[in-house]
Structure 1
């Protein structure tokens, strides 16, 4: 394995970790900077498509609306596997997301186990996410 491939793998891992850090802090404009302007983002829950956005403006509006409903986010990233092909790459990553929302005056914790399928591109020396498919595989909610 060459140093260039190791560096690319590190850059891609940092990209998905930055997505988690910035999202947890609700820094939505900075999250958008991790994506290409022509991005696509799809969300599946229990195998059903529940959201599909295209472009940064659409995604930023979607993320802002969601962030307004969530009091606290917490993300833990797990394994991340990539296949690099020059200036593009594909990746699969797994995350554990926790969100606290207020429902009927009570805090409710929802715990999500998510598998991401990503397509990355290198633009102007920076790796960005062009396409992301999120599969919410396990969803559990409880009052806290």
Structure 2
């Protein structure tokens, strides 16, 4: 049976991944300072290919801003599984769909990404942070936009 503290920790960890999605939809990468440790270890994979290897939140923010804002975006998180290592460390997997509308050759283009986030969390001064993330773009689809 889960303790009250474990339930509170699970809610806090779900909030981290959901706020990442929500703030990404707002194109508010500066908010990442509120959910990732300053020394975040981030690896982004496109299929099996490592596309980004970042070692701090400021570089993460700069790289994400360099992509430019989508005309519209919709990040939707699905299941999240969390395993606690101890009272201040945990690992987790979160499944997500990221849908973006961009412009290409004067026309709107819809891109859908299936994403898995493999996270490591650390609790510091009573609050949880994402300290490591492997972001895997499992597949990408470009359906017609109607």
Q: TM-score under structure 1 normalisation?
A: 0.95
Structure 1 residue aligned with 2:34? 33
Deviation at 1:113, TM superposition (A): 0.6
Deviation at 1:31, TM superposition (A): 2.1
2-side partners of 1:7 and 1:22: how far apart?
Answer: 22
Checking the alignment, whether the CA contact within 8 Å between 1:107 and 1:143 is kept in structure 2 is: no
Structure 2 residue aligned with 1:56? 57
2-side partners of 1:59 and 1:32: how far apart?
Answer: 10
Show structure 1 runs of 5+ residues with no match. none
2-side partners of 1:64 and 1:91: how far apart?
Answer: 25
Matches within 5 A, 1:98-109: 98-109=99-110
Q: TM-score under structure 2 normalisation?
A: 0.93
2-side partners of 1:21 and 1:107: how far apart?
Answer: 22
Show structure 2 runs of 5+ residues with no match. none
2-side partners of 1:123 and 1:105: how far apart?
Answer: 47
Structure 1 residue aligned with 2:48? 47
Structure 2 residue aligned with 1:141? 142
Moved segments of 4+, more than 3 Å: none
Please give the per-residue CA displacement for 1:29-73, whole angstroms capped at 9, x wherever unaligned.
11222100000111111211111111011111011112x242221
Aligned with 1:70: secondary structure?
coil
Deviation at 1:143, TM superposition (A): 4.1
Deviation at 1:28, TM superposition (A): 1.2
Corresponding pairs, count: 143
Structure 1 residue aligned with 2:70? 70
Checking the alignment, whether the CA contact within 8 Å between 1:116 and 1:134 is kept in structure 2 is: yes
Aligned with 1:142: secondary structure?
coil
Aligned with 2:17: secondary structure?
helix
Root mean square deviation, CA, Å: 1.1
